[in-house]
């Protein structure tokens, strides 16, 4: 790496900032206004990597990444899963009874319904969780509170009035780590993930035939999402994550079938799976009766 800087979309203290610090300890984090700006920072050498949110266990996919990443000139070189732990933040000396209004991002606001209802707080939507923390610190009023990360509290001199105020404890965001160079692991490396984007030909059964190649070759597919392109309902692209390395025989055959039945197929990245992904599989298999393991893992 030419420099140990990783760019992210958001304000200092955002969950993307926290993800950068956990994935790359000791690196400098570079806040950017947009995903496009974070990608540009890598191209221009201001950062070596970009941390790009791609999906959330509650909110689903992050649409911007589908349109930006394929044409960005960057490659996915890793993934990171960040647990979203919302904290209620106030200025020093604030008690929960003092709070009247809670400020946070609209997605986060939808994840703290119990907190709002239990305390009869007035919700106020802001552009960013970390940005909400900055505003509360600026106003310096006990009746104004923010919901953001512990890191946002530290960076803005706020106190944590209550931890883990999110309704769902499994709230997790997945990130792609992107670079200017592909940096693929060796084919013999275990636990590798490949991300592919493609369009299907406008013929009956095209998608069925594309996916059939992965099934017949025993390749596990962990993600498949479709989205429209070109302003027409007739053009559909798909983003797919699969287990394995393209140089492995099984995945190689599946990708060959994909090339034949699809258009504009492109590998966006080949990278090591996050340890968190393996932990999730282990947890999902706990307590399952004999014979369920293959069904869940595959």
Half-sphere exposure of 23 (CA within 13 A, CB side): 31
CB 239 within 8 A of CB 258: no
Closest CA to 175 of 28, 22, 52, 298: 52
Half-sphere exposure of 233 (CA within 13 A, CB side): 0
The residues, ordered by sequence, that sit 6+ positions from 74 with a Cβ below 8 Å of its Cβ are 39, 42, 43, 50, 178, 179, 180
The residues, ordered by sequence, that sit 6+ positions from 267 with a Cβ below 8 Å of its Cβ are 194, 195, 196, 246, 255
Is residue 175 annotated as a catalytic residue, yes or no? yes
Is residue 129 annotated as a catalytic residue, yes or no? no
Q: Which is catalytic among the residues 8, 35, 121, 175?
A: 175
Phi, psi (deg, nearest 5) at residue 144: -105, 125
CB 45 within 8 A of CB 2: yes
Closest CA to 107 of 52, 152, 161, 168: 168
Q: Which is catalytic among the residues 173, 198, 214, 238?
A: 173
State the catalytic residues: 173, 175
């Amino acid at each position: 790496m030419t420099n140990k800087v990783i760019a992210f979309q958001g304000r200092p203290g955002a969950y993307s900032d926290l993800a950068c610090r956990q994935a790359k300890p000791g690196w400098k984090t570079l806040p950017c206004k947009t995903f496009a700006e974070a990608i540009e920072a890598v191209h221009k050498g201001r950062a070596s990597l970009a941390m790009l949110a791609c999906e959330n266990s509650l909110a689903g996919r992050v649409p911007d990444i589908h349109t930006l990443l394929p044409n960005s000139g960057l490659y996915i070189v890793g993934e990171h899963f960040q647990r979203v732990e919302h904290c209620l933040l106030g200025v020093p000396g604030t008690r929960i009874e003092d709070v009247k209004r809670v400020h946070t991002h609209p997605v986060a606001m939808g994840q703290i319904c119990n907190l709002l209802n239990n305390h009869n707080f007035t919700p106020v939507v802001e552009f960013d969780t970390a940005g909400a923390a900055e505003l509360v610190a600026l106003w310096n009023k006990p009746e104004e509170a923010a919901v953001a990360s512990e890191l946002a509290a530290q960076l803005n001199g706020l106190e944590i009035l209550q931890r883990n105020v999110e309704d769902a404890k499994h709230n997790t965001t997945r990130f792609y780590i992107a670079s200017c160079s592909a940096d693929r692991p060796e084919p013999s490396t275990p636990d590798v993930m490949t991300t592919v984007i493609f369009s299907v030909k406008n013929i009956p059964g095209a998608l069925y035939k594309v996916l059939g190649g992965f099934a017949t070759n025993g390749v596990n597919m962990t993600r498949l999402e479709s989205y429209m392109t070109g302003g027409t309902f007739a053009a559909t692209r798909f983003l797919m994550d699969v287990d394995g390395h393209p140089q492995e025989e099984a995945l190689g055959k599946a990708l060959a079938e994909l090339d034949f039945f699809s258009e504009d197929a492109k590998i966006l990245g080949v990278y090591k799976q996050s340890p968190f992904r393996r932990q999730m599989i282990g947890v999902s298999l706990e307590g399952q009766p004999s014979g369920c393991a293959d069904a869940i893992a595959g």
